[in-house]
Chains A and B, each alone.
Chain A
Amino acid sequence: MHIVVCIKQVPDSAQIRVHPVTNTIMRQGVPTIINPYDLFSLEAALAIRDEHGGTVTVLSMGPPMAADSLRRALSIGADRAVLLTDRFFAGSDTLATSYALATAITKIASDQPVDMVFCGKQTIDGDTAQVGPGIARRLGFHQLTYVESVETIDRARRTVIVRRRAEGGVQVLRSELPCMVTMLEGSAVVRRGSMADALRAARADVTTWSAKDAGIEDISQCGLRGSPTVVRKVFAPQPRKEKAVLIEASAHDPVHMAEATIDTLFAALPGLNAELHAAAAR
């Protein structure tokens, strides 16, 4: 089995601050992490490799510093890492990103055929969930998103059975390799990686590819030129004209506080009192 796991280096969202005047993201000093959703996909890929044998290649597109995230993935247990980095990729939207990554996967597959591609369900900075399906479509791989568990892989028949989260239930799907899978959060406990892997990762070379190295011939499909979407503006939401009305109550008297709050709510929502009584009677 050869499995490619696509990961993205993202700013730790808990630490993002917005400049109060310019409305720009203050990136300085914000630590970066592997997109948390990607880790569930990496874990699933490693588990399949451990059971069936083979290789896990981690792939990322981003600035040179994204090599740190790839090294981290190696320390968790991935076998090989490829970083796609080139100024031509700057400003890529999800369509252009899926073009670059799919082309790189085709290049990786020319050395060793790829059986599965794993992507995160979505990223925590873009939250689009579009790059995985984009890669699947471009490669002609079967698309299996929101997967809770990969149940069985039959390497002889090239079939795979997964449980996929759908609206109102779980679909059990039988599909074939090669396929693209995105794993649901919480689908597994992500391993910590062994000491041997940590040592290996520290010494490992991250293969770095330019667009040309990755076999990309049509630069017009990359970066800003290859992106059909444009960002017209980025802005902070308008605060409401009036701030919340403070409920007057003694902070030291919880009973009074509660009564004052309920009086306020009943006055503000005239039907609430009757509705609560009706609901309580049921």
Chain B
Amino acid sequence: MSNEAPRSAAKKQLPEHFKAYTGVWVYIELERGQVHSVSWELLGEGRKLADQLKVPLAAVVLGPPDGSARAAVADSFCYGADRAYLMESALLADYRNEPYTRAMTDLVNTHKPEVLLLGATTLGRDLAGSVATTLKTGLTADCTELAIDAERSLAATRPTFGGSLLCTIMTLNVRPQMATIRPRVMAMPQRVDAPVGEVVEVPFDMAEDTIITKVIDFIADSSRDKVQLAYADIVVAGGLGLGNADNLRHVRELARVLGGEWGCSRPLVQKGWAPADRQIGQTGKTIRPKLYIAAGISGAIQHRVGVEGADLILAINTDKAAPILDFAHYALIADAAVALPALTTAFARRLGPAVRLAG
């Protein structure tokens, strides 16, 4: 069913063989030579957990023997790792569930971490589910907050029931305690140059002919199509308060004038007003812009957890009692369909001739 089963008699009685498990691990997601930035965000968060537990923070790097994995190891030290476990093999060139699950479970069984964090990307979620099932351990998806409790267990908090409440989930009696965290939920740590950590190289002993699934092609998204919503400094988004799908153009137009990205709340995707890659919130994108303008969005928890990292939130809403006013910094009580075009015109005028309004 789900992670959210209530239970009462949940006491920590860690079996003896799990007591040797120590250290915090972060899986470094390396694909086609690039590390996904969520991995660095998790090293920042992992550093805090490791310091609190007084244990080392380790990066786990799986990849091909072309130098990219070694570069990722070096970068891991710059983002706070004390140690890196490195598995290099041509079989790990592209992500495939089978060899990656085998590599990760072998590493865990040999080197025994108490906490294992992965990014909640398509890769991280595909891998985490397989690894946790193989290890028969607990896995908490899409955490928004991690902490260490008084008994040194990981307390993983995530939205539940479609984002209407938060719940804190523990894996008390199995190790490692696994969690996935979505990109941009945790802050990017400061990069420190040139520290050196310990590299533990581990051989990978699978043979290609035992791996059934083959990658026969990779079609890269053209950068033009790729929505940079998660990384934009300015985001303008619309919700049901816009009234109709056509009014979304006011959202797009203001975003364009501000040089930002546009997004929407979940109901708009469900109604088919906007594509899924524009959705902001727990099941869509998490954003951390400098300025977030939420127009006609009421502010359900599942939306809130996706935008709380913004430096400044401006809500435009006709309803003074809307939940978004509980976490926005400023609010304009107005009809979004009226306020948005007025803002677009006013911004364009202030920013001068460099910005042209679309006909």
A and B are partners in one complex rather than unrelated chains: yes
Determine if B168 and A232 form an interchain contact, defined as CB atoms under 8 angstroms apart: yes
**Neighbouring B residues of A29 by C-beta, 8 Å:** none
Cβ-closest chain A residue relative to B308: A237
How many chain A residues sit at the interface, stated as a range, is: 35 or more
Q: Are A280 and B36 in contact (CB-based, < 8 A)?
A: no
Contacts of B355 in A (CB 8 A): 280
**Whole-angstrom CA separation of A236 from B155 in the bound complex:** 16
B2 near A125 (CB under 8 angstroms)? yes
Number of A-B contacts (CB under 8 A): 318
CB of A116 to closest CB in B, whole Å = 14
Contact A246 B331 (CB under 8 A): yes
- Among B7, B216, B333, B347, max chain A CB count under 10 A is at B7
User: B154-183 toward A: CB 8 Å interface, digit per residue (1/0)?
Assistant: 010001111111111111111000000000
Min distance, Cβ A211 to any Cβ of chain B, angstroms = 14
Q: Could you say which residues of chain B place their CB within 8 Å of the CB of A229?
A: 3, 138-140, 169-171
B357: interface (CB < 8 Å): no
Tell me if B's interface is mostly helix, strand, loop or mixed.
Answer: mixed
Give chain B interface residues in 105-157, CB to chain A under 8 Å: 121-123, 125-126, 128-130, 132-134, 136-142, 155
> Is A157 in the interface zone, CB < 8 Å from B?
no
| Residue interface mask A160-190, B partner, CB < 8 A = 1 | 0100011111111111100000000110000
Known: A133-B129, A280-B351. A127 touches B267 (CB 8 A): no
Complex formed: what's the CA distance from A229 to B160 in Å? 14
Q: Are B1 and A174 in contact (CB under 8 A)?
A: no
Question: For the complex, what is the distance from the CA of A137 to the CA of B160, rounded to whole Å?
Answer: 25
Taking CB atoms, residues of chain A closer than 8 Å to B121 are 167
Within 8 A of A (CB), among B207-264: 212-221, 226, 233, 258-259
Flag if B347 contacts A129 (CB, 8 Å).
no
Measured CB to CB, the closest approach of chain B to A90, in angstroms, equals 8
Contact A230/B170 with A145-B125, A262-B343 known, Cβ cut-off 8 Å: yes
Do A16 and B126 have beta carbons less than 8 Å apart? no
Report the separation of the CA atoms of residues A282 and B313 in the bound assembly, to the nearest whole angstrom: 25
Q: Does B98 sit at the interface, judged by CB under 8 A? A: yes
Q: Which of A18, A122, A233 has the most CB of B within 10 A?
A: A233
The 6 closest A-B pairs by CB, nearest first: A133-B129, A126-B2, A13-B162, A254-B342, A91-B5, A228-B138
